[in-house]
Structure 1
Amino acid sequence: MNVLLVSATHLEIMPLLQRCDWPSGWGPVYSTMIGKHTVDVLLSGPGVVAASYQLGTLLGMRRYDLAVQAGIAGSFRQELAPGKVVHIKQDILADFGSSSPDGFLPAASIGLLESSAYDTSEGHLLETAGISWPESVTAANGITVQQVSGTEADIASMRQHFDPDTESMEGAAFYFACRMHRLPAAQLRSISNLVEPRNKENWNIPLAVAQLDVALQLLFEELL
């Protein structure tokens, strides 16, 4: 199987890269073998612009059987605490829309969506890989933002419009690109922090990275 593994940064998947003898400074695509699978690792850079460009370029040149995005995320749910790993069953571009005197207006509400490009009329993009996830990896609804939710007002707006479980900065762009190329896709996220007024002292990125690596190893064992 030819697998594309996408991460915004090398830090999020560093344990895997170290096992694969990743040469520091190589990028943005590194090819390796994991078990019997050929795996291209794409370090896309943070945000939807970088992810869209890198994925658009790569998927225009190469063909894969499966794409997996792996990274950290913020959690809107107390029960999804730092170190918890989820797979994102649906994602959406949550800050795509317009401001107004009445607050934020999502893109779908003002006619900005090309309906055939999305899986739902609201603009959701769905997991399509059909992976049998272990019980330790639960399903979650994600949102993708370009400005991390770090104020009470932003958090309340996201809850009101999308009722999300997690947020990231690339997930919906990844699902969109894979949908356009008819590529089965899944997104694996490890929680680094609760979504709250910004306080990096409460973040636990090392734990999130370690638990993400455990989940990635389980995933590749499932694919063997």
Structure 2
Amino acid sequence: MSASKVLIVTAVEAEHEAVQRGLDHHCGFDVIAGGVGLAEAAASTAIALTKDSYTAVVSAGIAGGFRAQTELGSIVVASEIWGADLGAETNEGFYDLEKLNLGCSRYQCDPLLTDKLCTSIAERGLKAQTGAILTTAAVTGTAKTAENLAVRVPEAKAEAMEGFGVAVSAQKFDVPVFEIRSISNFVGPRDRDNWKIKEALAVLEQASNGLQEVF
């Protein structure tokens, strides 16, 4: 992708600061803390895209990882960004927007750039992989919900709350969208005492340094 400016959207200020440190305030990137949740992320991204021109948008931050798929302190680069709870529950199971003929609940990320980004991050000594990252309105807090999500989306590697909102806005402006997540905890029963937030932010900082080689 030709050099211009890339918009990076985090949820909270701690993520914003970690990404900025990793980029060393490189002039080719604008980093914003867009707020927590799909709606805040979508609105903040759309506002930013009306104010300047960007060659790509990246949703970045920490996240929960699916235990069988990821490790704490690793990085997931999205191959797809899913709005995982957009749809309807039925007696036959969950119907997503596609099955309901109501729209799109997932966005495909450019596979060549996704692989390049994953490689760039791995070259910094981090464990990195590609896979689906789910966006949910509420963070999963039970083993049963985690199991249901893993069964419904076997390719899911991580769960966060903003990526799909960022993706919706980016697609409306016809700008490629990506997502990277540093794994701070496992998806499932809420156990904040064992979350590795400080460590995940340090990994996010390292991973962000790799963005400069891709965009």
The TM-score with structure 2 as length reference comes to 0.84
Amino acid in the other structure paired with 1:154: T
Name 1:143's counterpart in structure 2: 134
| Matching of residues 52-201 of structure 1 within 5 Å | 52-113=42-103, 118=104, 123-128=105-110, 130=113, 132-133=116-117, 134=119, 135=122, 136-163=127-154, 164-201=156-193
**1:69, distance to aligned residue in structure 2 (A):** 1.7
* Cα distance in 2 between the residues matched to 1:105 and 1:58: 32
Pairwise CA distance, 1:87: 0.7
Alignment root-mean-square deviation, CA: 2.3
Q: Are the aligned partners of 1:72 and 1:209 in contact in 2 as well (CA < 8 Å)?
A: yes
Larger radius of gyration: 1
Contact 2:84 2:134 (C-alpha < 8 Å) held by counterparts: yes
Aligned residues: 202
User: Which 5+ residue runs of structure 1 have no aligned equivalent?
Assistant: 21-31
Match of 1:15 among 13, 18, 37: 18
Q: For 1:59, what is the secondary structure of its paired residue? A: helix
CA distance in 2, matches of 1:19, 1:145: 27
The answer to whether the 8 A contact 2:145-2:188 is kept is no
| 1:73–1:166 CA contact under 8 A, matched in 2 | yes
How far apart in 1 are the matches of 2:58 and 2:97?
26
**1-side partners of 2:137 and 2:9: how far apart?**
18
Tell which deviates more after alignment, 149-158 or 99-108.
99-108
Once the two structures are superposed, residues 96-137 of structure 1 have per-residue CA deviations (whole angstroms, 9 ceiling, x without a partner) of: 112344554323232322xxxx4xxxx320113825122343
Pairs within 5 Å for 1:34-53 = 34=26, 37-53=27-43
Runs of 4+ in 1 over 6 A off after TM superposition: none
Range 99-108 or range 136-145, more displaced: 99-108
Give SS of 1:150's match.
coil
Report if the CA contact (8 A) 1:84-1:211 is conserved. yes
Q: Is the contact between residue 13 and residue 209 of structure 1 (CA under 8 Å) also seen in structure 2?
A: no
Query: What do residues 158-189 of structure 1 show as CA deviations (whole Å, max 9, x unaligned)?
Result: 12222211111011121222122121222111
Cα offset for 1:77? 3.3
Structure 1 Cα separation of the partners of residues 171 and 88 of structure 2: 25
Alignment gaps of 5+ in structure 2: none
**Greater alpha carbon shift after TM alignment, 126-135 vs 196-205:** 126-135
The aligned residue for residue 205 of structure 2 is: 213
3-state SS of paired residue (2:179): strand
Task: State the shift of 1:207 in Å.
Answer: 0.8
Percent identical = 27
Q: Decide which structure has greater helix share.
A: 2
**Cα distance in 1, alignment partners of residues 18 and 96 from structure 2:** 38
For the residues of structure 1 that align with 2:131 and 2:214, how far apart are their CA atoms?
21
Per chain length, whose mean CA-contact separation is higher, i.e. which structure has more relative contact order (CA < 8 Å, sep 6+)?
Answer: 2
